[in-house]
A and B are shown apart, each in its own frame.
Chain A
Amino acid sequence: MNCHDIKQNMYNYCDGLVSPDLRSTMAAHLNECESCRNNYQLTLIEKEALSDAGDIPLLSEAFTARIMGSLISADSVSSMPQPLVMSKSSSPYFKRTSWYSGLAVIAAVIALCLYLPNLKNISNNINVADNSSKQQQLELQSNAVKNNDYGTLAKDEDTIKLSQVSPPQNAGSGQSKLPSITLESESRSVQVDKDLTYSPSVLSTPFSSEAMKRSTSLDVGRSIRIESQVNETAQVTNTAALSFSPQNIPTRFKLMKLDTASENEAVYNYASQDGKENFQLHVAPYHEKMMAIGPTSNITFQDSPPSLTRDIQVGDQKITLTVSGNIPTEELIRLVNTIQFK
């Protein structure tokens, strides 16, 4: 072993990270080589200087008290942990995606404007296909397709039909109000937005429950195509649900049931895939403008059963989010702190 090899291993040697064999070899070399010995001593002093905390002054006794005082000062409301960051303007998510969202909305509006002439002639014609992967496909066909049968949802024999297409209206000031589409079935009645001014991703929201993973494409031309992948176990007990989807839910949980039967409350029931854990998210009262959630005003915790309630402000209205279930307390807290709605 030459001086170069010794030098290469010197830091690990001084940190005690070399094998016993290498240590013996290096020790023998250091006994004989003055240059490497100087290197060794400098390396040791470096380590000592880096490790020694003797020169670091002690913090004053009042340090902790000063911090706690600053947290519990008159400004404590603003310095409290602010778990729910759902404001569009302040959320980094929205900052990142605002361009894309804006472009999507513009693209959707342009597409619909191009489509308007054909939309007036849309027939009441929907085909619903259910394949083995539980993918439902709704296709609103134009008059060009001469098939007038209403489609049937094979899985639950639920017939879905297009019940209403409102013609475009002149909203004044030279602007045309876009048409609205309403879909109806035995268990669901969904209005595909009142003026179709949203992006395609929003277009599909009213039809499918938030239990569904949606993918939507809007074909410019003679057909509007709405696709939704349905969670096999999800149930929707709502009619005309316009619910928002909770985000940041741990991936092992699946939405099992969404209950918005009460106009003033939405209940999201989640369960883990192994069925051992479950929790409920209550949103009361349900608020359509959930995205504009304001700051947290109150937090309460109940140990048995574990339940965490957080009051949030939406405009002038107070909304209470409650998460309860048989999940670890820490996860319960993290959940209610990080949950967002989209």
Chain B
Amino acid sequence: MLTDEILTAQTLRGEVSAFEELVDRYKKSVFAIIYRMTGQYQEAEDIAQEVFVTVYQKLYQFDSSKKFAPWIHRIAINTCISSLRKNNKVVLLNFDETITNPNESEPLHKYGDPESALERNELKAEIRAALMELPESYQSVLILRYQLDLNNHEIAETLGVSKENVEVKVHRARKALRKTIIRRWEERGVIDELP
């Protein structure tokens, strides 16, 4: 099987079929990133299409000494964020702005067994909805880690941060997600129903 980098070279030589192969390889992951950030099929598909057109037009900027996957996934994240910003759907917050003191977190025993409060599928939907409320930087790092199952090195390549920072960012993003979930429960009064 031809590598991504060879396909990019062939595309630059005018072989359209090579780019078609790249689209087939990455449409699933690109769409997954965007769908997780938008939660809307049509919007996600439109943005995904925009991503691939952008990739095609900017392919000459791709450094073939590096991996293609982080490059295209980064474009997907950035394109999605730009699109969401246009519609004011994105929360602008840097990683470092939400450092929470672990001692300030509420004790979890207060909320009891989460499965007893909501059905498992409902709970997962609730968690995904909470994910979309997170700042874009948190969303992207969690999607790359869990949805795309990337390791720290791959996430670092995609986001353009150091490998050492990725672990910290994932941890903070998870904590922010937990806070958002609990806040949503409290707003809906679900917490009170917990044992």
- A and B associate in one complex: yes
Contact across chains for A82 and B64 when beta carbons are under 8 A apart = no
Contact across chains for B127 and A67 when beta carbons are under 8 A apart = no
* Contact flag A50-B20 (CB < 8 Å), given A35-B108, A81-B60, A299-B14: no
Contact across chains for B19 and A50 when beta carbons are under 8 A apart = no
Contact across chains for A41 and B109 when beta carbons are under 8 A apart = no
Query: Which residues of A are found within 8 Å of B28, using beta-carbon distances?
Result: 59
Interface centre among B49, B65, B108 (most CB of A within 10 A): B108
Kindly state the separation between the CA atoms of A71 and B60 in the bound complex, as whole angstroms: 15
Query: Which residues of B are found within 8 Å of A331, using beta-carbon distances?
Result: 64-65
Q: How large is the interface on B (under 10, 10 to 19, 20 to 34, 35 or more residues)?
A: 35 or more
Query: Which residues of B are found within 8 Å of A35, using beta-carbon distances?
Result: 107-109
Kindly state the separation between the CA atoms of A49 and B58 in the bound complex, as whole angstroms: 34
- How would residues 326 to 342 of chain A score, 1 for a CB under 8 Å from any chain B CB and 0 otherwise? 00011101100110000
Kindly state the separation between the CA atoms of A48 and B125 in the bound complex, as whole angstroms: 11
Q: Does B80 contact A (CB under 8 A)?
A: no
Q: Restricting to B13-64, which residues have a CB under 8 Å from any CB of A? A: 13-14, 16, 19-20, 23-24, 27-28, 31-32, 35-36, 41, 45, 48-49, 52-53, 56-64
Query: Which residues of A are found within 8 Å of B111, using beta-carbon distances?
Result: 38, 42
Q: Restricting to B114-153, which residues have a CB under 8 Å from any CB of A? A: 114-115, 120, 123-125, 127-128, 131, 142-143, 145-147, 149
- How would residues 63 to 89 of chain A score, 1 for a CB under 8 Å from any chain B CB and 0 otherwise? 110111011100000011111000000
Contact across chains for A59 and B107 when beta carbons are under 8 A apart = no
Q: State how many angstroms separate the Cβ of A45 from the closest Cβ of chain B.
A: 6
Contact across chains for B45 and A71 when beta carbons are under 8 A apart = no
Contact across chains for A45 and B53 when beta carbons are under 8 A apart = no
Query: Which residues of B are found within 8 Å of A71, using beta-carbon distances?
Result: 16, 19, 53, 56
Q: Does B102 contact A (CB under 8 A)?
A: yes
Interface SS of chain A: helix
- How would residues 171 to 184 of chain B score, 1 for a CB under 8 Å from any chain A CB and 0 otherwise? 10010011001000
Query: Which residues of B are found within 8 Å of A308, using beta-carbon distances?
Result: 13
Q: Does B11 contact A (CB under 8 A)?
A: yes
Contact across chains for B32 and A56 when beta carbons are under 8 A apart = yes
Q: State how many angstroms separate the Cβ of A87 from the closest Cβ of chain B.
A: 15
Kindly state the separation between the CA atoms of A329 and B13 in the bound complex, as whole angstroms: 10
Q: Restricting to B65-95, which residues have a CB under 8 Å from any CB of A? A: 65
Query: Which residues of A are found within 8 Å of B125, using beta-carbon distances?
Result: 49, 55
Q: State how many angstroms separate the Cβ of A239 from the closest Cβ of chain B.
A: 35
Contact across chains for A338 and B112 when beta carbons are under 8 A apart = no
* Contact flag A333-B16 (CB < 8 Å), given A49-B128, A59-B45: no
With both beta carbons as reference points, the residue of chain A lying nearest to B6 in the complex is identified as A330
* Contact flag A38-B123 (CB < 8 Å), given A57-B41, A64-B20: no
Contact across chains for B41 and A53 when beta carbons are under 8 A apart = no
Binds B, one of A4-12, A97-105, A160-168, A174-182: A4-12
Kindly state the separation between the CA atoms of A53 and B177 in the bound complex, as whole angstroms: 18
Contact across chains for A45 and B45 when beta carbons are under 8 A apart = no
Q: Does B9 contact A (CB under 8 A)?
A: yes
Contact across chains for B53 and A79 when beta carbons are under 8 A apart = yes
Interface residue from B24, B59, B102, B127 paired with A49 (Cβ < 8 Å): B127
Q: Does B191 contact A (CB under 8 A)?
A: no
Contact across chains for B12 and A39 when beta carbons are under 8 A apart = no
Query: Which residues of B are found within 8 Å of A55, using beta-carbon distances?
Result: 124-125, 128
Query: Which residues of B are found within 8 Å of A51, using beta-carbon distances?
Result: 146-147, 149
Interface residue from A64, A68, A79, A333 paired with B13 (Cβ < 8 Å): A333
Query: Which residues of A are found within 8 Å of B19, using beta-carbon distances?
Result: 68, 71
Contact across chains for B9 and A46 when beta carbons are under 8 A apart = no
Interface residue from B48, B64, B109, B142 paired with A38 (Cβ < 8 Å): B109
Query: Which residues of B are found within 8 Å of A64, using beta-carbon distances?
Result: 20, 23-24, 27
Contact across chains for B123 and A49 when beta carbons are under 8 A apart = yes
* Contact flag A42-B114 (CB < 8 Å), given A4-B102, A64-B24: yes
Interface centre among B23, B60, B125, B143 (most CB of A within 10 A): B60
Contact across chains for A70 and B127 when beta carbons are under 8 A apart = no
For the complex of A and B, list the 3 residue pairs with the smallest distance between their C-beta atoms, beginning with the closest: A35-B109, A50-B146, A337-B60
Q: Provide 26 A-B residue pairs closer than 8 Å at the C-beta atoms, listed in order of the A residue.
A: A8-B102, A35-B107, A35-B109, A38-B109, A42-B111, A45-B114, A46-B174, A47-B146, A49-B131, A50-B143, A51-B146, A53-B147, A55-B124, A64-B23, A67-B23, A68-B19, A71-B16, A72-B16, A80-B57, A81-B12, A81-B58, A82-B60, A330-B6, A330-B64, A333-B13, A334-B62
The residues of A with any CB-CB pair to B shorter than 8 Å are: 4, 7-8, 11, 34-36, 38-39, 41-43, 45-53, 55-57, 59-60, 63-64, 66-68, 70-72, 79-83, 299, 301, 308, 329-331, 333-334, 337-338
Other than the given A42-B181, A46-B177, A50-B142, 5 more pairs (CB < 8 A) read A4-B103, A51-B149, A71-B53, A79-B57, A81-B58
